[in-house]
Structure 1
Amino acid sequence: MSFMRRLINDDVTCVEQLRMDTNTFRVLCSLLLVEGGLKEDGLVPIEEQVAIFLHILAHHAKNRVIKFKFQRSGETVSRYFNLVLSSVLRLHGNLLKKPDPIPEDCIDNRWKWFKGCLGALDGTYIPINVSEVDKPRYRSRKGEIATNVLGVCSRDMQFIYVLPGWEGSASDARVLRDAINRRNGLKVPTGNYYLVDGGYTNGEGFLAPYRGSRYHLSEWRHRRVPTNPRELYNKRHAQARNVIERTFGLLKMRWAILRSPSYYPVKTHNRIIIACCLLHNFVRREMSIDPLETELENMPINEEVD
């Protein structure tokens, strides 16, 4: 219990270990109790259940490490991890961001050119462990074994929609088609759209850059300026669409479990990915200052040439 007291009564320690300050942690516990269906069973307090779960996500800690830190059995750690995971997923209606189009009177220099835009989308790879027979399907173009995750975010770096589970060999465009065709999938209201990169088709609901012209932000360094209207458009498009790259970057910085393969079953791993995105949104809403965002601003974004 002394470990728990140190963990949730000091903001610096709480942010380092659980990725949120003490007040945000308590709000999350209350939300999971009231709306997530998490139960106080008299054996392990709600705060400790949630702390175990967050510690595993934040540090990709093994069961034996959590056993030692929290002085619980391995079975207890595993049981409460799965209970809190299910509880977090029940909050998807509360925690997913509702899309909000860019208004006509927008003055944000990054977004004012894209009236009616809802945000940006892209795919990212999350490392995963699968059986030997499945590895060819999950091998990405980079050669790593991963799942291809579609993420859709708003301009304030909150997730609107997440679709994990596709094999790493699947193209981004194929994953997007699946998301659109699902009964409860990604919906784009008429007249609105998302910014996408050159790996997707330019069409109704999705606005891509011009092909064959400079696009990625790295190509605009050293005070280079656009030389024609297409390059000007591409530069502004890249500056706005970069929000999804930053969102993925912040997500992976926050939750170490997304940076290396875990040994959870594939189905559980996909549930964990969604939970990490939901908790990312929760932290963005509840914490006025996110120290990880400051750290992210000082790091170069990894961009790929399509």
Structure 2
Amino acid sequence: MDRRCFAILCTLLRTTGGLVGTEVVDVEEMVAMFLHILAHDVKNRVVRRQFVKLSDTVSRHFNSVLNVVLRLHEDCLGALDGTYIKVNVNATDRPRYRMRKGEITTNVLGVYDTNGDFVFVLPGWEDSTADSRVLTDAISRPNGLEVLKGYYYLCDVGYQNVEGFLAPYRGKQYHLSECHGGGNASTTTREFFNMKHFSARNVIETAFGLLKERWAILRGKSYYPMQVQTRMITVCFLLHNIINQEMNIVKMPEDLDKVDSHSATIGLDEINYIESSNEWTQWRDELVHNMFFDSELRNNQ
């Protein structure tokens, strides 16, 4: 984060979020301490020495900035996926949060748009929870993920192919080199669709990688309580957006192969539950057929 972006963030937190400094610590120093903890994954005692503050002061201002940043949340459409972030939970809950490799993590749902922003995030679910269940929770909770009928998110095979969520075909493989080699190397319409789907949706994997690279607190074993940790995860996503918007660091590839993102059907109602249907399955098949033969036509011209 450069100085200009830092100044913009402080102004946002002061004017929009209502963050107020004290006689001893101004807003800029509060935010600097907060960002230092997220970016370097250091404990309060380290910040206390570096900023010459009392431990209680560091803790109090950390939570103040944490709460204010959470007020800057936003919503939109895009691709979605889950990622795993290490957390600290009670001993009795550890089996539910334990990954196969033994790490204790939470399953975080993230939604990413074509501008390079995360537009929805839902941390807190156990590692053992199926992605489809996390998604069901996301769209059913108050102020949850908004999905208008007639539009969809791209998602991977861990999710059901249902209205509002376009998944690839199961069991249809392709070579990753096909995604970047140009032309239509796939032998079937479904393989071709899966290749294009992967290429369009893979940007969210890159975004998760950049997010974790930027905020070290998302990479290491957490020493914060679970409730605080899930709030910090959300804040890291929001700060990612601010840095992206103000510094123009994240750029979507101009030559990215995209799955047709036009509306699937006509309607303005929201999707409030996940339900498979023959209509949605047939619509995907028609979309795949049209995409494949449009590509064949262009290649033969």
Please indicate the TM-score interval, normalised by the length of the shorter structure. Answer: 0.7 to 0.9
Aligned twin of 1:176:
135
**Residue 109 of structure 2 corresponds to residue 150 of structure 1:** yes
Matched, 1:283 2:243: yes
Q: Deviations over 1:129-176 (max 9, x none)?
A: 112111001112443210111111102221111111111111111111
Describe the shift of the 1:190–1:132 C-alpha distance in structure 2 as closer, same or farther (beyond 3 A): same
Aligned residue number for residue 3 of structure 1: none
- What is the correspondence of 1:1-306 to structure 2 with a 5 Å cutoff? 20-92=1-73, 96=74, 98-99=75-76, 118-215=77-174, 217=176, 225-289=185-249
Partners in 2 of 1:69 and 1:218 — Cα distance?
A: 48
Question: What is the TM-score when the length of structure 1 is the normalising length?
Answer: 0.78
Partner AA of 1:272 in structure 2? M
C-alpha RMSD over aligned residues: 1.9
Counterpart code for 1:160: V
Q: Share of identical aligned residues, percent?
A: 58
Deviation of 1:64 after TM superposition, in Å, equals 1.7
Deviations 1:95-150 (A, max 9, x none): x2x42xxxxxxxxxxxxxxxxxx321111111011121110011124432101111
Q: In structure 2, what is the equivalent of residue 13 of structure 1?
A: none
Q: Show structure 2 runs of 5+ residues with no match.
A: 253-301
Superposed displacement of residue 222, structure 1: 7.5
Check conservation: 2:80, 2:153, Cα contact below 8 A: yes
TM-score calculated relative to the size of structure 2: 0.79
Higher RCO (C-alpha 8 Å, min separation 6): 2
8 Å contact 1:217–1:239 — kept in the other structure? no
Measured in 2, the distance between the counterparts of 1:216 and 1:183 equals 41
Assess if the C-alpha contact under 8 Å between 1:128 and 1:262 holds in 2. yes
Aligned residues: 251
Q: 1:52 to 1:192 in 2, by over 3 A?
A: same
- Extract unaligned runs of 5+ from structure 1: 1-19, 100-117, 295-306
Taking the aligned partners of 2:43 and 2:177, their CA distance within structure 1 comes to: 38
1:32 counterpart SS class = helix
